[in-house]
Structure 1
Amino acid sequence: MTTEDAIWSALEEVDDPEVGVNIVDLGLVYEVKVDENGRARIEMTLTIPECPLADDIVKNVKEAVGAISGVKEVDVSLVWEPRWSPARMNDKAREEIRSRQRV
């Protein structure tokens, strides 16, 4: 597994605490890059710019990615363009949200 693949897998373990779905399936992660020095750069967004849990989500991303062998530094950039919308979610996220609404 390449380091970028490992990062994507680790990010699938990070949930948006308000939605209860991982940030990859929600479509919040836009880009993952790793340089030759083990510096991981993640470009992502949040469902809303004024998300009260932004610091927690970024901290969880840094912890998850920082635990990967070979990753020495983690930079997370929050971006607002392109703007997130529910259309960015994959089918897995949609089904998970639907199943919670049925309960």
Structure 2
Amino acid sequence: MSDTTINTEELGEKIVRVIKTIYDPEIPVDIYELGLIYDVFVNEDYDTKVLMTLTTPNCPVAETLPLEVEEKIKSIKGVNDCEVEITFDPPWSQDLMSEEAKLELGML
């Protein structure tokens, strides 16, 4: 593997770091720790796909949050393209939150 080759696993970690800079406007915790990101896929062409959910189907940021995720991921050096898919299966619940998020919100 040459120095210019990007490891898809490394790229996946960069994507997660970028996702952790995106916050739900109503909850002071990033969307990764909130458990809104179900999966991040990176293929050999460095196309990425993010499977995510929202806290509720009528979430006030339902239009803007997926776009923000897509734009921020597309700005990562090495990412070719990004598609964000929203799903409500399974629906989001507080059980999906990380310990860190629960602690931040005083739930522990």
Calculate the aligned-residue CA RMSD, in Å: 1.5
Per the normalisation by structure 1, the TM-score is: 0.89
Give the match for residue 51 of structure 1. 59
Give the match for residue 102 of structure 2. 94
Per the normalisation by structure 2, the TM-score is: 0.85
4+ runs deviating over 6 angstroms: none
SS of 1:59's partner is helix
SS of 2:41's partner is strand
Structure 1 residue 55, shift from structure 2 partner: 1.6
- Percent identity, aligned pairs only, is 33
Aligned residues: 99
Per-residue CA deviation, residues 63-92 of structure 1 (Å, 9 max, x unaligned), is 221111111211000001111100110111
SS of 2:105's partner is helix
| Distance in 1, Cα, partners of 2:103 & 2:94 | 13
Report the residue type matching 2:67 in the other structure: K
Structure 1: state its 5+ residue gaps.
none
Choose between structure 1 and 2: higher helix proportion.
Answer: 1
Report the residue type matching 2:80 in the other structure: K
